[in-house]
Structures are given as C-alpha cells and as structure tokens.
Amino acid sequence: MPPILCRYFFVTAILLFFSMLQTVSAVDDRILMPSPPTIVATSYILEDFDSHEVIVEKNADKKLSPASLTKIMTAYVVFKEIKNGKLNLEDKVTVTENAWRMPGSRMFIEVGTQVTVENLLKGLIIQSGNDASVALAEHIAVTEENFVILMNEEAIRLKLTNTHFENSMGLPTENHYTTAKDLVTLTRALITDFPEYYAWESQKEFTYNKITQRNRNRLLWKDNTVDGVKTGHTDEAGYCMVASAKRDNMRLIAVVMGTKSESARATESQSLLNYGFRFYETHRLYQAQQSLKEIRIWKGEHEKLKLGVEKDIYITIAKRYYENLKIETKIDKRIIAPVIKGHPHGTITISLKGEVIKKTPLVALVSIAEGGIFRRLYDQLLQLINQLLE
C-alpha cells in the first residue's frame, strides 16, 4: 500500500476514534431513564412529598371538576377547627333535614339524630358521605355557604391558585374546580398539618347505623404502602383519585383526574406510584437550622456567623446518579453587622450532569448586633490592611 494511502487511513482512524469518544462523553452527560407509563386520564401528576419535585405530569394546571376530591379540603377545614380548639371529636352534631337529603354517596345519618364529629369525619373520609359533609359544614358555619367561604380562604392561604369551591361535597357547578397540581399541594398540607387524623385515610371500612361501607380506594387492598387519600366520581369529572404511598423514607403523591372507570383510576394511580418508586430516589441533603458554614463577620458583637438553610433541603433524582451531584457554595464577601436571623448571605447550587436542579439561599442562623466602638474601629483597621494586601 502506498505510504500516502497508509497515512490517510491512519488519520481517518484517529479522527473516528476521537469522534467515538465525544459520542460516549455526550451519552455520559445524559441521564438515561425509562419512559414514564402511558396514563389514560384528562390530567395527572406524580410528585415527591418532601422535595416537591414533579416526576411525571400532564395537564397538571388544567382546571377540572374535582368531584369528591373536594372533601380533602372539607376535612382539612374541620381538622383545623379542632386544632384551634373550636371543635372536639366528641362534640355532638344535630343532623338537619338539609344534610339528610343530600344526594349521592351517604353515610346514612338520620334527621334529628346527634352524631359525633369523629363519626361524621369517618363517614366523610371513608364512606365519602355527602350527608356527613353538609352536617359538619352546618355545625361549624351554620350554613354550607358560610363553610365554603372558609374552604376558599384556606385555598388562598395554601396558594391553590387554580382552585375555587362552591360546595363541601364536590357536586359539579360551573365555578367549582381545582387542578391536579393544587390537589398535591392540598394533600401535602393535610398530611403535614394533621398527621394524627391522616391515619383515617387508610381505614378500609367504617360501620355506622349498622351499615358497613368499604373505602372506595382500591389501592388500600392492592398495595400496603398506600395510606390514602381520596377518590371521586361524577359524570362531569369522570373517575378521579388522589393516592399517596410511602416506601422506606420516600413518599409520593399521585393524582389522576378524568379516567374512565373505578378500576382505571386505581390502575393508573398504581402505575404512576410504581414508576416513581422504581426509578427515582429522594435524599435530604441539608437539615434546617443546622450550621453549614461559619464565617467571619465584621464590626459585630461576635466574630463568627453561622450560616445554614431555613428548611430541610430534599432532592429527587434518578436512581444511581447520586454520586454525580455537584454542590457549589457562594458566600457574600465582607458581611458587616448588624445581621438579622434568616437574612440570606450566600447560596447553595446543586447540579446534576451540568443542569442546576436546586438553588437555595444560605441564611444567618442567628442575629448579631453591632459591636462596641472599639470592636468597630479594630475591624475597620483590619479591613483596611486586608484591602491593601489584596
């Protein structure tokens, strides 16, 4: 073979080799994940409870009729009344004819009887009783209309920006709507704020007035890690479900809205949960109020300032990629007293494969007042010397 041809093949081989290396490097920079399951629903979302990170979603901000998923907010308001000391589980509620006449699912309370708040709550949560919902609403706020005002106030406080209620049960009306995303936020608040009552969400059946009804959440029988939350159905809303499950130290919340049947909403919810637990993991990187950095502070009554994060910092990432995380910390230069607790003085940036996945402020964990005149003068002199040296 002529020498010039040999050189040609040699150069070509080298170029191909480096091209292959670049291709491998490009692949290595990607996070390789199986595709999420195909979910047949109008809207759905799968979100991690701790990190608030969305794993899968479709039309999650679409306003839809929530049917009995409304009762998650109804229960939340009742729990808050109990927590604030305005209501007790043992309180007796007199059943009005209005509550007794409610259509749809019922716990079968009778006009004029007195039922405890606890029994009504179980009838609301486990049996999805519309009669229980209205009985509680009337007892707390005299009328259901007044109770709905409380529901919408809580929606505003919880920043459910695409939610509005017009009744406590979920009967469809034009301005009664929410979204899959808002339902995740509401469910997280319910679990966080009222863990002692959340356990009722996993109760499989409840007997009242000698009538036993089963919880409509089929996943409670299929998956022992599922511990709530609520199902709903109307012709307008279709079959809906909010499901939450905890496996090891990871909790996920799945919402499906607008499926075709009871079995479909359970199957689709299970598919979302299984996908999330199988392919993702959640880590707590930093604990709230824990000192992460101790830095020099100038002209203060103390020389050192502790920095940390206000809330626990969680991340949800694809499994097997934890070692690829990169964390960069930046701290403000020359922090001068006074310093107020909670005020940011730096940032923590968390990246995975070159993509920023979370950025959070580093804040002062304590307040530090301005030092005395001699401390301020001494630090001023030191700063001048440092500036000259720099």
Active site residues: 68, 71, 128
Query: Residue 284 half-sphere exposure, CB side, CA atoms within 13 Å?
Result: 12
In the numeric block, which tokens belong to residue 320?
Answer: 């097997």
Task: Scan for tokens 């609403």, then name that residue.
Answer: 137
Q: Is 6 helix (H, G, I), strand (E, B) or coil?
A: helix
Q: Is 158 helix (H, G, I), strand (E, B) or coil?
A: coil
In the numeric block, which tokens belong to residue 212?
Answer: 């036993």
In the numeric block, which tokens belong to residue 109?
Answer: 């309370």
Identify whether the C-beta of residue 215 lies closer than 8 Å to the C-beta of residue 228. no
Identify whether the C-beta of residue 30 lies closer than 8 Å to the C-beta of residue 353. yes
Residue 34, by phi and psi: left (phi above 0), alpha (psi -120 to 50) or beta? beta
Which element (helix H / strand E) includes 281?
strand 280-286
350 phi/psi in degrees, rounded to 5: -110, 125
- Rounded CA gap, 288 and 306, in Å? 13
Say which DSSP state 205 is in. E
Identify whether the C-beta of residue 338 lies closer than 8 Å to the C-beta of residue 300. yes
Please give the C-alpha separations between residue 222 and each of 127, 203, 267, in angstroms, as whole numbers: 19, 14, 10
- Rounded CA gap, 298 and 129, in Å? 63
Strand partners, 241: 231, 256
The amino acid that residue 316 corresponds to is T
348 phi/psi in degrees, rounded to 5: -115, 125
Centre a 10 Å sphere on the Cβ of residue 179 and count the other Cβ atoms it contains.
Answer: 23
Q: Is 264 helix (H, G, I), strand (E, B) or coil?
A: helix
Task: Scan for tokens 């019922």, then name that residue.
Answer: 106
